[in-house]
Structure 1
Amino acid sequence: MAPRKEQQIFQATLELLTVRGYEGLTIEGVAERSGVNKTTIYRWWPSKAALLAAALIQADLLLFDPPDTGTLRGDLEELVRGMAALLTASPTSDVAVATLGAAVHHPELATAVRRFFTDRFAREEAVFARARRRGELPETADPLLIVDLLGGAVWIRAIFRGLPLDDDFAAHAVSAVLDGVTGKR
């Protein structure tokens, strides 16, 4: 499939998800909105869960390139800023909330969400590999735990608490994770 047409399909999928919810997301609706035949969509994606999984991972709207600032701290702050931007600005925040809400009730969507986060972490691992090579991160450090702590902080603050993420949030969150909140062991 042509990349431009694929992106139109992904865009239509994510738009319909935010407008109609997962229950209202249909292959027919995506076909109509994207201007392609539904058989074309079914040829590439056998279900709406498969289509949404592909859209979450491959849509330009949610495109992600891991930062490379030259330091672990700088890279993590940029990761947090990127997460914050995704979760505080429409339409990406709408996609995240609609997807998370629907994943609770739909196992096939929960699987798609896990694939999304697995893909994201695979991309983020480059940050930690570089940090280890530079001697900034011990081999015993758990990169997934670090990402989960930072990502969880963004999700809780922005989505569940509805609080703003000020300009210093990324630096404070990264410091809390890397340095600890008390500085004691």
Structure 2
Amino acid sequence: MAPRKEQQIFQATLELLAAKGYEGLTVEGVAERSEVNKTTIYRWWPSKAALLAAALVQADLLVVEPPDTGSLRGDLEALVRGVAALLTRPPAAGVAVAALGAAVHHPELATAAQHFFADRFAREEAVFDRARRRGELSGTADPLLIMDLLAGAVWLRTVFRGLPLDDDFAARAVGTVLDGAASRALPGPDQGVRSGAGAPEPGGRPA
């Protein structure tokens, strides 16, 4: 099938998913919307589950190209903004939420969702490969965990909590993951007592 026609089918599939949910998505509806004969669609994808699985991975609508800003921090912030745009701007936002809900209730789509996230991480790995070559990333760092923390924060904030994202959300999220949240400036509870003049002796009287 010609790539342009394939993208028309995928676009129609995702638009119908966002508008009507998985239950309302039909191959007939996709055929009408994309102006392609339904027998042609069935020839390539034997069911609507197979069609949606292909659309989730291959449709241009859901593609977030990995950035190359010259630094790991800049790349990660750009990735967070890309995920945020995907989950907050129509029609991609409706597609993502509908696909997630469908995957929960329809086991045949769980694998499709897994393929979607695996494909996205495969694209994002280039960011971490470059960071390693630049010496920005520890050899023990787990890129998948980093992306789970960052993308998961966007999903939780926008989809599940229904909260808006501030303009500096990407920078704050990346900073928390890369730099940590705990203060390193304060001494521990025993520091300063034993090292300072006048520290109490075991009997409780000052030295």
Q: TM-score range by the shorter chain?
A: over 0.9
How many residue pairs align between the two structures?
Answer: 184
What SS does the aligned partner of 2:105 have? coil
What is the one-letter code of the residue matched to 1:153?
A
Q: CA offset at residue 64 of structure 1?
A: 2.0
Which residue number in structure 2 is paired with residue 15 of structure 1?
A: 15
What SS does the aligned partner of 1:104 have? helix
Alignment check: 8 A CA contact 2:53 2:112 kept? yes
Please list every run of at least 4 consecutive aligned residues from structure 1 whose deviation after the TM superposition is greater than 4 angstroms.
Answer: none
CA offsets 1:11-48 (integer angstroms, 9 cap, x no match) = 11001111111111111111111111111111111221
Higher alpha-carbon deviation: 175-184 or 129-138: 175-184
CA offsets 1:74-105 (integer angstroms, 9 cap, x no match) = 00000000000001111111001101111111
Which residue number in structure 2 is paired with residue 99 of structure 1?
A: 99
Q: CA offset at residue 141 of structure 1?
A: 0.5
Gaps of 5+ in 1: none
How do 1:129-168 and structure 2 match up within 5 A?
129-168=129-168
What is the one-letter code of the residue matched to 1:155?
W
TM-aligned CA distance change 1:171 to 1:28, over 3 Å:
same
Gaps of 5+ in 2: 185-207
Aligned partners of 1:80, 1:146: CA distance in 2, in Å?
A: 11
Q: CA offset at residue 183 of structure 1?
A: 4.7
What is the one-letter code of the residue matched to 1:85?
A
Q: Percent identity among equivalent residues?
A: 80
Q: Which has the higher helix share?
A: 1
Aligned partners of 1:59, 1:38: CA distance in 2, in Å?
A: 19
Aligned partners of 1:97, 1:183: CA distance in 2, in Å?
A: 36
Q: Normalising by structure 1, what TM-score?
A: 0.97
Q: CA offset at residue 127 of structure 1?
A: 0.3
Aligned partners of 2:30, 2:133: CA distance in 1, in Å?
A: 45
Bigger CA radius of gyration: 2
Alignment check: 8 A CA contact 2:49 2:109 kept? yes
Which residue number in structure 2 is paired with residue 126 of structure 1?
A: 126
CA offsets 1:112-143 (integer angstroms, 9 cap, x no match) = 01100000000000000000111000121000
Alignment check: 8 A CA contact 2:64 2:83 kept? no
What SS does the aligned partner of 1:181 have? coil
How do 1:107-126 and structure 2 match up within 5 A?
107-126=107-126
What is the one-letter code of the residue matched to 1:171?
A
Q: Does 1:38 align with 2:28?
A: no
